[in-house]
Amino acid sequence: MIRQLLTVLITTLALASCGFHLRSDKALPSNTDYLLVQASSQSALLVRALEKRMTVYRIDGGSSADPAKQASTITIQLEPEQLNRRLLSVFATGQVAEYELIYGVRYTVVFPDGEALKTSFEVLREYQDDPDQVLAKSRELNLVLSEMRLEAADRIIRLLSSQYAGK
């Protein structure tokens, strides 16, 4: 009994000392109470994806400022999203067989002390096109883009956490 308890205690201490935390644990420092998301269009799909991921990470925030938490608010200013495609392969008929989708995200983070940090990254996916199944491929493309936006939102939160920790 004592041996099992000691094993659990040592494992817990080892995980805590290496910085391990559950994925849904709060991703921002404890001195930050609010995450303000600003974009040219508040109905942009990336804004919605980011707000959805903020609920998963239990981050308080949104697209409107909270005056009571102004001193501890981190602001993310999203620039319009960019989606590009790069040709990877073609069929013998000359029709496109495969694309690489490039989802570009650029944003500026303004920390509570007023320091601003501009960041950008890309999310890449390969996408196979089939001209015989246009409707199905259109739905698949929308699903892939939605997944890319969620990945971008996760990445923003993780980068935000590491950028703030590095200050």
Q: Taking the domains of the chain in order of start, what are their residue ranges? A: 24-165
CATH topology of domain 24-165: Double Stranded RNA Binding Domain (3.30.160)
Q: Report residue 118 as tokens.
A: 């501009």
Percent with pLDDT over 90 in the chain: 33
Q: Report residue 1 as tokens.
A: 């009994």
What sign does the CA torsion over 143, 149, 153, 158 have? Answer: positive
* pLDDT band at residue 167 under the 50/70/90 scheme: low
| The pLDDT value given to residue 16 | 67
- Say how many residues make up the chain: 167
Average pLDDT over residues 141-166: 85
* pLDDT band at residue 37 under the 50/70/90 scheme: very high
Does the pLDDT at position 24 exceed 70?
Answer: no
Q: Which one-letter DSSP state was computed for residue 72?
A: G
Q: Which of 10-19, 31-40, 114-123, 151-160 has the lowest mean pLDDT?
A: 10-19
From residue 50, alpha-carbon distances to 6, 35, 143, 147, 165 in Å are 41, 11, 16, 12, 20
